[in-house]
Amino acid sequence: MRSIGGMARDSGLSVSALRFYDRAGVLVPAWVDPVSGYRWYAPGQLDEARLLARLRRAGMPLADIRLVLAGWTGADTDLVQQLLEAHLRRLERGLSDARGEFSMLRALLDDREKSMTPLRTATARPALASPELAAALDAVRFAAGTDPELPMLGGVLFDIEGDSLRLVATDRYRLAVARVPVTGHGGSRVQVVVPLPLVDAMRALAGGPEPVRLFVDGDRVTLETGGGRQVAGRSLDHDFPDYLRLISLPAGRRAVVDVAAFRKA
């Protein structure tokens, strides 16, 4: 028989942890002195304690550990294997989510260091084909974020530079980018985040045969057709993440996939 101190020393669990697992019914001592209350453990419980220590270090929930120990002592290897594989899948999902969060945090930090064109001084009046704008809006709208904790993602970035307008949307897990050729923009780069209600109003207006013109004056964004119809509103007062940093990946990290097969998979 091992005392609680000896069990702690040999198993890697602290004395306080052994007392806790006793109260929780996970690892109950073989005998408890009725007078002193001192705990004693049978020789065969050392393997259970060591297994318990490993599972806790791996972050397995206590309820699942109780089942693993029951399967371990009962020689139910199938149950133990299923529980271990299920926990490993949870850990992998958690790691994937954590990587996504940290990637977005790094992008946000980079964006804070690299200031964009100030919205209050941004001015642009490019002309563009209405069907192409409609197609681009359709291509990115699905990826826009809806999390109130991340208001900078609750719209579509309009990035005007040279002879192109890039539309960008992301919800942290998906990123969509579409390009529309423009004419008549000879100024510096202009970026505004257009809120989703205004994006949807633009989509309802776009799509006709006549060209449209986009007006950006400070934080006011207007889309106007050749016939004089227009929708307008204010842009979001938030900086959008540096999407170019995400899409400018080296060739070794890019892969071309068949769309139909990828959707099926």
**Is the domain of 196 the same as that of 154?**
yes
CA end-to-end span of the chain, whole Å? Answer: 55
3-class DSSP state of 230: strand
Cα–Cα distance for residue pair 128/220, rounded to 1 Å: 18
Task: Look up the pTM and report it.
Answer: 0.53
Could you tell me if residue 97 is inside a domain? no
CATH number at residue 74: 1.10.1660.10
Max Cα–Cα distance, the chain, nearest Å: 95
137 and 243, same domain (yes or no): yes
User: Domains in the chain: how many in total?
Assistant: 2
Please tell me the distance from the alpha carbon of residue 204 to that of residue 233, in angstroms, as a whole number: 15
Low-confidence ranges of the chain (pLDDT < 70): 110-122, 248-253
Q: Are residues 136 and 193 in the same domain?
A: yes
Residues 245 and 126 in one domain: yes
Share of the chain above pLDDT 70, in %: 92
Whether residue 30 lies inside any domain: the answer is yes
What's the pLDDT tens digit per position in 106-115? 777 766 655 4
Whether residues 244 and 123 share a domain: the answer is: yes
Give the pair of three-digit tokens for residue 151. Answer: 């208001």
Within-domain flag for 179: yes
Q: Supply the pLDDT for residue 232.
A: 93
| pLDDT, tens digit, 9 for 90 and up, residues 165-222 | 999 999 988 999 999 999 988 778 899 999 999 999 999 999 888 889 999 988 899 9
Q: Which residues lie below 8 Å from residue 209, measured CB to CB, with a gap of 6+?
A: 130, 131
Tokens of 144: 């826009």
- Beta-bridged to residue 212, according to DSSP, are 128, 225
Q: Are residues 175 and 51 in the same domain?
A: no
Whether 261 is covered by a domain: the verdict is: no
The verdict on residue 167 lying in a domain is yes
**Same domain (yes/no): 10, 69:** yes
155: containing domain: 119-251
126: DSSP letter: -
Domain containing residue 173: CATH number: 3.10.150.10
**β-pair partners for 164:** 161, 181
